[in-house]
Amino acid sequence: MNIVETALPGVLIIEPRVFDDARGYFLERFNLQRYAAFGIPGEGLRFVQENATRSHRGVLRGLHFQVHRPQGKLFSVSNGRVFDVVADVNPDSPTFLQWISTELSDDNHRQMWVPPGYAHGFCVLSATADVYYRCTDYFDPDDAGGVSWEDPQLGIAWPIDTPLLSDRDKGLRTLADTPRDRLPQ
């Protein structure tokens, strides 16, 4: 597998080795020994929950994070294409306000490792997309946080102008309007 380091510390793009032939393909979506060599899931962390979403073209999910019990997340797409984004929203971080993006798809088989403490979101580029992600902590709705997908301080270059958002995501504030104690530390 190929590991691509990004401008955000610890955020990695994983390009697994794919064995293609006339029948289709085979790849390892996760191998604890191999991934641990690259710090995934991370020191003292283990995966405890796996989630799946199916979304349609134009859906944008995010930017989400957990405030006091941050989750590390390993994202992949089994069907379709998404524009995947990780943003540093920790005001004490040297990379505060920086973000990275990549396309995850069933064609490129990439994965995105998002260490605890970053905000994450994606928008769907294909007719539908099935996204799977493993988490290093259990979801706690009382600890859930987020920042508006169109936060001007982040200035993310989303490939969509008018996304379909959940009611929760419609209500997310900008960083300027989010109390400091509701951001990852």
Per-residue pLDDT reduced to its tens digit, 32-74: 889 999 999 988 899 999 999 999 999 999 999 999 999 999 9
At 185 the pLDDT is: 79
pTM: 0.94
Residue 128 pairs in a beta bridge with 56
CB neighbour list of residue 24: distance below 8 Å, 6 or more residues apart:
none
Considering 68, 109, 133, 138, which one is annotated as catalytic?
133
Question: pLDDT tens across 97-152, in order?
Answer: 999 999 999 999 999 999 999 999 999 999 999 999 999 999 999 999 999 999 99
Distance of alpha carbon 67 from its chain centroid, rounded?
Answer: 16
Q: Is 133 a catalytic residue?
A: yes
Beta bridge partners of 83: 103, 123
Q: Tokens standing for 172?
A: 């997310």
Tokens of 62: 């995010």
Let me know if domain 2-19+27-179 sits in CATH 1.10.260.40. no
Displacement of CA 3 from its chain's centroid (Å): 16
CA–CA dist 152, 164 (Å, integer):
19
Bridge partner list, 26: 19
Active site residue 68: no
Tell me which of 64, 109, 118, 120 is the catalytic residue: 64
